[in-house]
Amino acid sequence: MDTIILAIESSCDDTSAAVIKNGLLMSNVIASQKVHEEFGGVVPELASRAHQQNIMPVVDAALKHAGVDKKDLSAIAFTRGPGLLGSLLVGTSFAKGLALSLHIPLVEVNHLQGHIMAHFVEPSPEYIATNPKLQGIDIKHPQLPFLCLLVSGGNSQIVKVEAYNRMQIIGQTIDDAAGEAFDKCAKVMGLPYPGGPWIDKLAKQGNPTAFPFAKPNIAGYDYSFSGLKTSFLYTLRDLMKEHQVDTVDALAEQIPNLREDLCASLQTTIIDILLKKVKKAAKDLGITRIAVAGGVSANSGLRDAMMQLSQPSSCIVHRQPSTYEVFIPPFSFTTDNAAMIAQAGYYKFLDHDFCPIDAAPYAQTTI
Ligand code: KG4
């Protein structure tokens, strides 16, 4: 008998549903919410309302694209947390209602573990046929154990992954997340929300050494991005004072390539901060497999820098291995999506790791 799981993700501002059949991804539908753009960040109340509007058509489309009837489903997997409570409630309630009506088990998934499980998504030939961006891509799955740099809008962590259900956070941000630093600095420059992709785009035409921003000095494997954010803000403030202007637009008229250089410098600083700690953790723990996950892993500079880690080092004398095996998920599985929830849910289903019908969503948690 086939094992077919419908997964639902609604932790923030993307409503997504996916179907996985016998471990192969059949569909992954994502409805992003444009309503937040004008506010420069996600408005929780608007997010939950948009989830309510989107969830039925998104689930319907996921089943349709997979060629699956709901009566053939073996279980419903859903993101239980962490995330925005109002958003999570929509997906959780929908999953419970559907599971109850179909008399099938519920599987809860931790959103952060889901991001890491994006590395194990195995698209079916049918799915690849309808997703040209996946065609010709060699998807490599990391062998256990490995380190995962988990970087999103709400989290920046280094996770030691020993099994899909055995993960340990060995370092994390003590204040802002890397994605938050991208988004908040973008907002200061007057760029739309979410700012990460805009910074990525502009950074390509900028000078990464134009502005020397502050880097944190935090012990162990933890991160901090609030000092960088302040340093970015003060740099702009001082430039505006020096040029006697009140807006970034006016400043950009006086300084050629201003936004591009700011973006390139900020992006390089964030990547340096992220990778320095990952390399330290890999060296200390003797783990040479490094993966990256979460929305910020869509960043082209970070992806390039990760790939460079896997190149042979020019240094000949070293005791530790100089190169790493690097794993970067396909773009479509980096930002919030239900395919990763389906993958995590599939493993839990095989373990009969079901959740009770009264399981409430949670806003915060560790892995
Ligand atoms: O994982 P995700 O979709 O949602 C959370 O769970 O937070 O991550 C969203 C974050 C946002 O901060 C967004 O700006 C960032 O990922 N992001 C990027 C890029 N694409 C998305 N940051 C830098 N460069 C990108 N290309």
pLDDT of 315 strictly over 50: no
Q: What is the pLDDT of residues 143-184, one digit of tens each?
A: 999 999 999 988 899 999 999 989 999 999 999 999 999 999
Could you give the percent of the chain with pLDDT greater than 90? Answer: 87
- What pLDDT is stored for residue 5 in this prediction? 98
Q: What is the pLDDT of residues 242-275, one digit of tens each?
A: 999 999 999 999 999 999 999 999 999 999 999 9
Cα-to-centroid distance, 152 and ligand 1 (Å): 5
DSSP assignment of 264-302: HHHHHHHHHHHHHHHHHHHHHHT--EEEEESGGGG-HHH
Q: What is the pLDDT of residues 143-154, one digit of tens each?
A: 999 999 999 988
Q: What is the pLDDT of residues 204-250, one digit of tens each?
A: 999 999 999 999 999 999 999 999 999 999 999 999 999 999 999 99
Q: Which two tokens stand for residue 142?
A: 């990391």
Q: Which residues pair with 5 in a beta bridge?
A: 20, 75
Contact between residue 179 and residue 289 where contact means Cβ atoms under 8 Å apart: no
Residue with CA at minimum distance from ligand 1 atom 2: 295
Average pLDDT over residues 6-34: 96
CB-ligand 1 contact for 185 (6 Å cutoff) = no
- What pLDDT is stored for residue 313 in this prediction? 56
CB-ligand 1 contact for 182 (6 Å cutoff) = yes
pLDDT of 339 strictly over 70: yes
CB-ligand 1 contact for 361 (6 Å cutoff) = no
What's the one-letter identity of residue 1? M
Look up the pTM and report it. Answer: 0.93
Ligand 1: nearest atom to the Cα of 201? 26
Residue with CA at minimum distance from ligand 1 atom 16: 295
pLDDT of 317 strictly over 70: no
Cα-to-centroid distance, 177 and ligand 1 (Å): 10
* Residue 72: DSSP 8-state: G
- What pLDDT is stored for residue 34 in this prediction? 85
pLDDT of 322 strictly over 70: no
Closest CA to 71 of 134, 138, 18, 4: 4
- What pLDDT is stored for residue 318 in this prediction? 47
Ligand 1: nearest atom to the Cα of 111? 6
Q: Phi and psi dihedrals of 214, rounded to 5?
A: -65, 140
CB-ligand 1 contact for 152 (6 Å cutoff) = yes
